A and B are shown apart, each in its own frame.
Chain A
Amino acid sequence: MVVVKLPALIAEQAGGQREFDVEAATVGDALRALPISDLLLDERGNLRRLVNVYVDGQDAREADGLQTALDAAQEVRVIAAVAGG
């Protein structure tokens, strides 16, 4: 079991829920289990360019991306990249 924490804007799209407990082997499995997975993953199933995911503080892109194993991970945190206007 891992807890996935969401930023406020997409939590609002998930009925206001900011944290989800999910059973998942990989980061991709954890994100796909969320009701707002379409906002994090594009139509090819890839992580959107400005969505960052940290597994216990470690950037998943610097590990195996969506294939990053969660093993004994406690927390998956979704954070929007600093960008936009």
Chain B
Amino acid sequence: MGTLLLVGTRKGLFLLRSDDARRDWELEGPLLTGWSVYHAMQDPRDGDLYVAGNNFVYGGTVQRSSDLGQTWTRSEGLGLPEDTGLELAEVWHVEPGHASEPDTLWLGATPGALFRSPDKGETWEPVMGLVQHKTREQWEPGAGGMCCHSIQIDPDDPKRMYAAISAAGTFRTDDGGKSWLPANTGVAADFLPDPFPVVGQCVHKLLLHPERPERLWQQNHCGVYRSDDRGDNWERLEGNGLPSGFGFPLALHPRSPDVAFVIPEEGAENRVTPDGRLGVYRTDDGGATWQLLESGLPKPAWGSVMREGFASDSRDPAGIYFGTQSGSVFVSASEGEEWQEVARQLPPVLSVEAGEW
């Protein structure tokens, strides 16, 4: 089984293929030309590809391919009910459902919307418990719109899942999506009069560790955080090696719950790599300390990485991948120790996910 990298860009989807060594890569694309691929992933349950794609004229849609991108089927009828007063603006993230529900998928969208598909993405129903959440009036859109960009499902319990919206915060459901509780205690919102509100936090990316599902990580507008109690409480982890708490993407090690990766930016007011140094920071101790990994990365480099532009695979040693707004894709087959540029001069990269071919 070879390694497949799905690279979503502002101008279509690219695929990169390699073998187990992950050293030599072959580029294919662009596929879905004309569509901005905010997120593309391979469903590990059946190998199908899914794309959350947007076009400035024709709107947002989800596309599925059962033949590794040769042909695509588009979801239809995606939208929000009129009585919500909300209209779908953009689709952001498509997430495979729980292993016990093989036809179920979840979709995060703007404005602050979550959808569920019971039929592999053919049709989508809005999750009204979140769309009409009682705190919604306190949500504010970030620069990327009020996007629901992170959806995480507890592998031990199909009814427990998490959704993160910028800037509304993280929400957890324990009943399959009927009711949602804010899960933001300890997470700062320095841009609000009350820096620790119940909701309104600007989460940039949220991930759950599959080997220890009560552990969540988030890269936020205001710091990097970890929770060990399903989001009930959060601990801020910056300092001890991180040049900044600001950044967008986040990646986790596929097996070790103590290992996480971030790519910080200088700060909210200057969203570039700190001192022009493109670097991945890894913690091996749950966020207590962070080490810079930059061997093989260009410098100076100001190649910002979007919130979906960072991923890990499930191999051993784990492969770590990121794509930049300046159109490069970097791969490490050594858990971040050594990097190589495997594609360059692509359109701005919006998302990176690893799969198999």
A-to-B contact residues, CB < 8 Å: 9-10, 12-13, 38-40, 42-44, 48, 50-51, 80-81, 83-85
Contact = CB atoms under 8 A, between A and B. Distances in A.
A39 B58 contact: yes
List of 9 A-B pairs having minimum Cβ-Cβ separation, nearest first: A43-B79, A39-B58, A9-B34, A84-B56, A50-B57, A80-B57, A38-B76, A43-B88, A13-B74
A32 B207 CA distance: 40
Contacts of B61: 38-39
Interface residues of B, dominant DSSP: loop
10 contacts: A10-B58, A38-B78, A40-B58, A42-B59, A43-B79, A44-B79, A44-B82, A48-B57, A80-B57, A84-B57
Interface string B47-83: 0000000011111010000000000001011111010
A48 B78 contact: no
B87 interface: yes
A36 B4 CA distance: 30
B33 interface: yes
Contacts of A12: 33-34
B121 to A, nearest CB: 14
The interface centre, meaning the residue of A40, A43, A81 with most chain B CB atoms within 10 A of its CB, is A43
Contact of B55 (A9, A42, A43, A81): A9
Contacts of A48: 57-59
A40 B58 CA distance: 6
A25 to B, nearest CB: 23
Nearest to A41: B59
Contacts of B82: 44
A81 B57 contact: yes
A79 to B, nearest CB: 10
Interface in B317-337: none
Given A43-B77, A43-B87, 4 more contacts: A38-B77, A43-B79, A43-B88, A44-B82
A10 B34 CA distance: 9
The interface centre, meaning the residue of B57, B61, B88 with most chain A CB atoms within 10 A of its CB, is B57
B79 A42 contact: yes
